Structure 1
Amino acid sequence: MRFAGFSMSEEETLLARTAAEFAMRRLLPGAAERDRTGAFPTDEVLELGRMGMLAMKVTEADGGAGTSNVGYVLAMQALARACASTAVVVASSNLVGKILAEHATEAQRERWLGPFVRGELGPASFALTEPKGGSDAAAISTRARLDGDAWVLDGEKAWITSGTGAAFHLVFARTDGEGRDGISCFIVERGTPGLVIGREEDKMGQRASGTTTLALESCRVPVDCLLGARGAGYSIALSALGAGRVGIAALSLGIAEAAFDAGCGYAESRVVFGKALTEFQNSQFVLADTRTELDAAWLLTLRAARALDEGERAGAETSMAKLYATEACGRAVDRMVQLHGGYGYSREYPIERLYRDARVTRIYEGTSEIQRLVIAREIIRRAR
């Protein structure tokens, strides 16, 4: 994909091509079956890990690919175009990898970051959301208390991507007082006594992403499982959200592009009243409006990714990309379902799955309402 002013480097182009080839070869053929059964894509994710795609945001100095944010969004779009469930697992793991690389001690790098980057561990999860709150991250109630040479965690996390398949989880818990300054981040390995993986959520879409609850029942972890400084958990979580939001923007556009391709193909082959749907002005307008919106969304996403690459704060830009791309995705898949007519309502056609996969993109990684708040606050801050 080429836009004026957004030339891609050789590395970014190669990454996008590699992701697209893998997606078409390994993800697309089983996407419908994974959606039907909800089976976590274990083998595919492990292969992506060995390719370095679970740790794209980790620098080369730390053994990662050192992928730019532009390269990252291109890869995310390509993966989501084939299977959004797998793409969101990749997004979650990249969020964890970025946090680990930026905050891990030398011992933590050797124990977790190195094996994770090399693809030896598989995916990881970002466990912040709780049953009674998602958008208000500072209001978490999971607690961690120091007991000798261990931290003891108690609480519950909800809507955790890769909950079933994660080798380890970044768990955010309250260590001191109330508010954002009392939150800390912990590395909790799969199989740790007291860590209970709940049932998988029977979701509307992105059904194979292994979304579960996590219960922490007097879960003891060594003191060296504290990631970053005590009380720095809230800032650690926020530090990764910019790249996370542009990643979800790109993921949603992958879904939208797949839907658009399906709609164009159907409209060209479907004959009514002796003419293909594409010969009717109404269908042409639908395709024109959708293509225009998706290109606009791509430009916002690339602008935000480039701003992050250049070290800008980019809070408003990443939220604009996430807001507009996910809402444009929703409009696009809805139009493509309508273009399919009754067949768009049938599970025999991929557009039905894409319609369901698209809906959650306006909810996770910050709802549309939260993105509007972030944008408005940044506008006001810049005006002062």
Structure 2
Amino acid sequence: MNSLYFTEEHQSFRASLKDFLQKEVVPHIEKWEKTGTIERFIWKKFGEMGFFGIPYPEVYGGLNLDLFYTVIFLEELQKVKSAGFAAAMWAHSYLAMTHLNAEGDERIKQDYLVPSIAGDKIGALCITEPFGGSDVAAMRTTAIKKGDKYIIKGSKTFITNGVYGDYYVVAAKTSPELGNKGISIFLVDSNLKGVSAVKLDKLGWRASDTGEIAFDDVEIPVENLMGEEGKGFPYIMQHFALERLIMAINAHARAEYAIDYAIDYMSQREAFGKTIDKFQALRHKLVENATDVEHCKVFNYSAVARLDKGEYVVKEATMAKLKSTQVADETIYSCLQMLGGYGYMEEYPLARLFRDSRLGPIGGGTSEILKEILAKMIIDKQNYKPAVK
């Protein structure tokens, strides 16, 4: 199946990335998980290797590679035993930077996209609010134009890289009376007067700095508006397909990691005179899990291939995230069980993986919200279309 999507060049890239992660990232993971802080040097190393520039134009320092290089990047990051670290990397590269590339003007691209690709600046995407959750249109943050400035007031929460970030891509209402048609996107430096960030204490993703950010009458120049005023909602919606596919790929990759770890453990663990991988009940359960994961993987790759060709795959991406995150949780739960008491111990990776995976059905749109989006498309025949810049 891999030959359908991955060339020899893709496989060489995977081998290089694996080697980099083992040498430069894995030795620091336990420290970052304990301190909750990812040190800045690793961002620069990622930038030097070109990993932040995978999908971006060469003129800005990117590699302009197809989306299956992104798939490899995401899959291998799920194997470093820290979904929090992985999230910090992909949220920077594919959430914040996607908007810089798509809606930013040339000045923004030179001042923010170029150093982001190089690993010199860290970005965060700020959409979710304390009272809004998955309801993007209900946001309360405002950006009121006064002369040659916008004044931003409000708050955002559950923001990955919210504390590390050098800049934020912020969604705010420029015309609150217009509802979702009054939302715009802005570039906001994190060191501006009136900006403050508080780190949140989470069940998992301990290495990442998920934060709540307050904007207290923050002044930004009018040229920090990204794209057209009032087009923020369709901009956000059209990028959600990529975000949901990212989370689906993360899910099938971490589930695969859990299965591989469980199989290795079971081949060594003995009970009643034989290794436990010989017990039919355990063997058949693992096979069920592997089958579910493989189904997700095949579907996810198919959706990525279509997105890479420019198709608008909002339905498929939504299905991919919905199913893959559910399957990942069930698979990791099952694999943890295979380890018995050791699965519950922090020194084994499945305990952390179990916690980290739980964010899958929540982040980037809860499973309940995704089901309603799909119901509108499948039952109500609603047709979502991409934004036109």
Would you call these one fold, judging by a TM-score over 0.5? yes
Counterpart AA for 2:48: R
Name the stretch that deviates more: 156-165 or 79-88. Answer: 79-88
Contact 1:184 1:231 survives alignment (8 Å)? yes
Separation in structure 2 between the aligned mates of residue 209 and residue 261 of structure 1, nearest angstrom: 25
Instruction: Give the corresponding residue for 1:60.
Output: 58
Deviation of 1:3 after TM superposition, in Å, equals 3.8
Query: What SS does the corresponding residue of 1:361 show, helix, strand or coil?
Result: coil
Instruction: Give the corresponding residue for 1:48.
Output: 46
Separation in structure 1 between the aligned mates of residue 138 and residue 13 of structure 2, nearest angstrom: 38
Alpha-carbon deviations, 1:5-55, whole Å to 9, x = none? Answer: x23134433333333222222333333332233223433233213323234
Deviation of 1:381 after TM superposition, in Å, equals 6.4
Q: Go from structure 1 to structure 2 and tell me whether the alpha carbon gap of 1:130 and 1:305 turns closer, same or farther (over 3 Å shift).
A: same
Contact 1:323 1:362 survives alignment (8 Å)? yes
Query: What SS does the corresponding residue of 1:245 show, helix, strand or coil?
Result: helix
Q: 1:69 aligns with which of 67, 78, 83?
A: 67
Q: Go from structure 1 to structure 2 and tell me whether the alpha carbon gap of 1:326 and 1:44 turns closer, same or farther (over 3 Å shift).
A: same
Matches within 5 A, 1:269-284: 269-284=268-283
Matches within 5 A, 1:181-200: 181-198=181-198, 200=199
Instruction: Give the corresponding residue for 2:386.
Output: none
Contact 1:141 1:155 survives alignment (8 Å)? yes
Unmatched tracts of structure 2, length 5 or more = 384-389
Query: What SS does the corresponding residue of 1:231 show, helix, strand or coil?
Result: coil
| Count of residue correspondences | 380
Query: What SS does the corresponding residue of 1:347 show, helix, strand or coil?
Result: coil
Counterpart AA for 1:16: R
Contact 2:240 2:314 survives alignment (8 Å)? no
TM-score, with length taken from structure 1: 0.94
Counterpart AA for 1:314: V
Q: Go from structure 1 to structure 2 and tell me whether the alpha carbon gap of 1:244 and 1:41 turns closer, same or farther (over 3 Å shift).
A: farther
Counterpart AA for 2:337: Q
Instruction: Give the corresponding residue for 2:320.
Output: 321
Q: Go from structure 1 to structure 2 and tell me whether the alpha carbon gap of 1:17 and 1:373 turns closer, same or farther (over 3 Å shift).
A: farther
Matches within 5 A, 1:201-240: 201-240=200-239
Instruction: Give the corresponding residue for 2:174.
Output: 175
Contact 1:92 1:161 survives alignment (8 Å)? yes
Alpha-carbon deviations, 1:35-78, whole Å to 9, x = none? Answer: 23322343323321332323433233543222322221221011
Alpha-carbon deviations, 1:315-370, whole Å to 9, x = none? Answer: 11111111111111101110011111111111121111111110001110111122
Query: What SS does the corresponding residue of 1:184 show, helix, strand or coil?
Result: strand
Contact 2:144 2:151 survives alignment (8 Å)? yes
RMSD of the alignment, in Å? Answer: 1.8
Counterpart AA for 1:375: L
Query: What SS does the corresponding residue of 1:240 show, helix, strand or coil?
Result: helix
Alpha-carbon deviations, 1:167-223, whole Å to 9, x = none? Answer: 21101111102411111111111211111111x111111111110011001111111
Matches within 5 A, 1:289-308: 289-308=288-307
Instruction: Give the corresponding residue for 1:115.
Output: 115
Name the stretch that deviates more: 40-49 or 265-274. Answer: 40-49
Separation in structure 2 between the aligned mates of residue 252 and residue 70 of structure 1, nearest angstrom: 16
Separation in structure 2 between the aligned mates of residue 286 and residue 228 of structure 1, nearest angstrom: 50
Query: What SS does the corresponding residue of 2:52 show, helix, strand or coil?
Result: coil
Separation in structure 2 between the aligned mates of residue 61 and residue 173 of structure 1, nearest angstrom: 30
Separation in structure 2 between the aligned mates of residue 306 and residue 7 of structure 1, nearest angstrom: 8
Instruction: Give the corresponding residue for 2:240.
Output: 241
Name the stretch that deviates more: 212-221 or 315-324. Answer: 315-324
Counterpart AA for 1:47: K
Contact 1:246 1:301 survives alignment (8 Å)? yes
Counterpart AA for 1:63: G
Separation in structure 2 between the aligned mates of residue 370 and residue 65 of structure 1, nearest angstrom: 35
Instruction: Give the corresponding residue for 2:387.
Output: none
Contact 1:20 1:78 survives alignment (8 Å)? yes
Instruction: Give the corresponding residue for 1:101.
Output: 101
Instruction: Give the corresponding residue for 1:350.
Output: 349
1:25 aligns with 2:23: yes
Q: Go from structure 1 to structure 2 and tell me whether the alpha carbon gap of 1:67 and 1:242 turns closer, same or farther (over 3 Å shift).
A: farther
Separation in structure 2 between the aligned mates of residue 383 and residue 228 of structure 1, nearest angstrom: 26
Query: What SS does the corresponding residue of 2:172 show, helix, strand or coil?
Result: strand
Instruction: Give the corresponding residue for 1:79.
Output: 77
Instruction: Give the corresponding residue for 1:8.
Output: 6
Query: What SS does the corresponding residue of 1:294 show, helix, strand or coil?
Result: helix
